Amino acid sequence: MHLILQPRLSDCLLQDVEIQDQGILGRCLISWPERLIGQRLYKAINLTRDPKVHLYQQRIAALMQKPWSRHKDCGLNPATIELSPRAREAWIAIHDTIECESGEFGELVNVQAAAGKAAANVLRIAGVMAVVEESAVLEDLHIQRASTLMDYYLAENQRLTEQEPLNKLRAEADCLLRWLIKKNWPPFRLRDLTRNGPRFARKSTRHTFELLLQLVTHNWLNNAGDIFEVRDVPPQ
């Protein structure tokens, strides 16, 4: 099942203690990628001519057309995929690492619900990869690939559930900083921003000042008198 939620609803869900206690989130592979609105320019790419995409589509179509294996009572009889000896060793090492990091002082202590199911999910993800690749055995490479994906999902779970509730002023201040860096603005005054800054930063002079104060307080802007300047930051 693939669910997509809007940011505000997602934020409420991820911060809800009762939802977390139900164990629902621990069963989800959560991802919140960077927004690309404003950057999705048209590219003349024909994916139907991509041999990798074509091969993947053929394989999925073949799996969809394959007759279901059933028991005599009509119950499903799914195929069993065994782990190779090296794959088993790799999975045990991953399982034990996750278990150790889920303890009281471990890196995964705050996402124990997701961590407790992570090793099993590594097997599920690896199994999907093996089936798509027409492999009857789970190999070490399948486990390593699945582990890489699971590392990402655990990191996303930590990032999204451990963060403070959304602060709109700080979110807008962060957006303003990224705008200033992208536009490569030279040293400026408050009135320059209220006249030529982005729309969300021009609601009122007081609001603009509060945004600048946030950035100065967190050392993202230098301030000398009424002049503001973006501090040196790594390229975005």
Q: What is the pLDDT of residues 77-124, one digit of tens each?
A: 988 899 999 999 999 999 999 999 999 889 998 889 899 999 999 999
Tell whether 2 is covered by a domain: no
**pLDDT above 70: residue 150:** yes
Instruction: Say yes or no: 132 and 226 in one domain.
Output: no
Q: State which of 162, 184, 200 marks the end of a domain.
A: 162
**pLDDT above 70: residue 177:** yes
Tell whether 86 is covered by a domain: yes
Tell whether 224 is covered by a domain: yes
Residue listed under structure tokens 């008198």: 225
Q: State which of 136, 162, 188 marks the end of a domain.
A: 162
Q: What pLDDT is attached to residue 166?
A: 62
**pLDDT above 70: residue 217:** yes
Compute the distance between CA of residue 194 and CA of residue 201 in angstroms, rounded to an integer: 7
Tell whether 132 is covered by a domain: yes
pLDDT > 70 in the chain, percent: 97
Instruction: Say yes or no: 158 and 102 in one domain.
Output: yes
Q: What pLDDT is attached to residue 8?
A: 78
Mean pLDDT, residues 179-204 taken together: 92
Work out the number of other CB atoms within 10 angstroms of the CB of residue 158.
17
DSSP β-bridge partners for residue 224: 227
Compute the distance between CA of residue 52 and CA of residue 184 in angstroms, rounded to an integer: 40
Mean pLDDT, residues 48-52 taken together: 90
Q: How far is CA 23 from the centre of its chain?
A: 19
Compute the distance between CA of residue 76 and CA of residue 69 in angstroms, rounded to an integer: 6
Tell whether 37 is covered by a domain: no
Task: Specify the CATH number for the domain of residue 175.
Answer: 1.10.10
Instruction: Say yes or no: 141 and 176 in one domain.
Output: no
Task: Provide the pLDDT confidence category of residue 205 given band limits of 50, 70 and 90.
Answer: very high
Tell whether 207 is covered by a domain: yes
Range from 12-16, 82-86, 102-106, 201-205 carrying the lowest mean pLDDT: 12-16
Mean pLDDT, residues 49-71 taken together: 91
Q: State which of 162, 187, 205 marks the end of a domain.
A: 162
Which DSSP string corresponds to 118-149? HHHHHHHHHHHHHHHTT-SEE-HHHHHHHHHH
Q: What pLDDT is attached to residue 236?
A: 46
Helix 140-162 with 7-15: angle, nearest 10 deg: 90
Instruction: Say yes or no: 138 and 210 in one domain.
Output: no
Written as six digits, the tokens of 66 are 């394959």
Cβ-contact 29, 114 below 8 angstroms: no
Closest CA to 190 of 148, 235, 225: 225
Mean pLDDT, residues 190-206 taken together: 92
Domain that holds residue 203: 168-230
Counting the structural domains of the chain, the total is 2
Instruction: Say yes or no: 75 and 107 in one domain.
Output: yes
Instruction: Say yes or no: 83 and 193 in one domain.
Output: no
Q: What pLDDT is attached to residue 97?
A: 96
Closest CA to 185 of 215, 140, 217: 215
pLDDT > 90 in the chain, percent: 57
Q: How far is CA 13 from the centre of its chain?
A: 16
Instruction: Say yes or no: 88 and 193 in one domain.
Output: no
Instruction: Say yes or no: 13 and 115 in one domain.
Output: yes
Q: What pLDDT is attached to residue 234?
A: 54
Instruction: Say yes or no: 199 and 104 in one domain.
Output: no
Closest CA to 63 of 131, 2, 135, 127: 131
Q: What pLDDT is attached to residue 29?
A: 92
Which DSSP string corresponds to 52-113? HHHHHHHHHHHHHHSPPPB-TTS-B-PPP-EEPHHHHHHHHHHHHHHHHHTSTTSTTGGGHH
Tell whether 40 is covered by a domain: no
Instruction: Say yes or no: 120 and 146 in one domain.
Output: yes
Compute the distance between CA of residue 193 and CA of residue 94 in angstroms, rounded to an integer: 51
Taking the alpha carbons at both ends of the chain, their separation in whole angstroms is: 34
Instruction: Say yes or no: 150 and 179 in one domain.
Output: no
Tell whether 44 is covered by a domain: no
Task: Provide the pLDDT confidence category of residue 164 given band limits of 50, 70 and 90.
Answer: low
Written as six digits, the tokens of 158 are 């930590």
Instruction: Say yes or no: 75 and 123 in one domain.
Output: yes
Q: What pLDDT is attached to residue 101?
A: 95
